[in-house]
Amino acid sequence: MQRDVLLLTEMIDAAEQAHRLTADITVSKLEADRQRRDALLWNFTVLGEAAGQLSAEVKDKFPDMPWQQPRTGSPVSRGR
């Protein structure tokens, strides 16, 4: 359970950072800012990796949460 707490904390931190990175910025400005995009991608990666490592016990407690990583292509897989 301690590992789950650590993973959930990391997920919260990554989500908050992603929110800060996208607050008050347009899509065109985000597209032009490689460093910000890379930071955003890193935080999405942290979210996905941490979600994938959560115990079944935690996932079972929150069945409405979409714990699976999205199956659509990421900007990296689309060649951006």
The whole-number mean pLDDT for each consecutive block of 10 residues of the chain, a chain of 80 residues, reads 94 96 94 96 94 93 80 51
Tokens 């897989």, residue located: 77
d(CA 61, CA 33): 39
Return the CA Rg of the chain: 14
Tokens 């707490």, residue located: 5
Given this model, what pLDDT does residue 77 score? Answer: 46
- Tell me the pTM: 0.78
Interhelix angle for 2-22 vs 34-53, to 10°?
A: 160
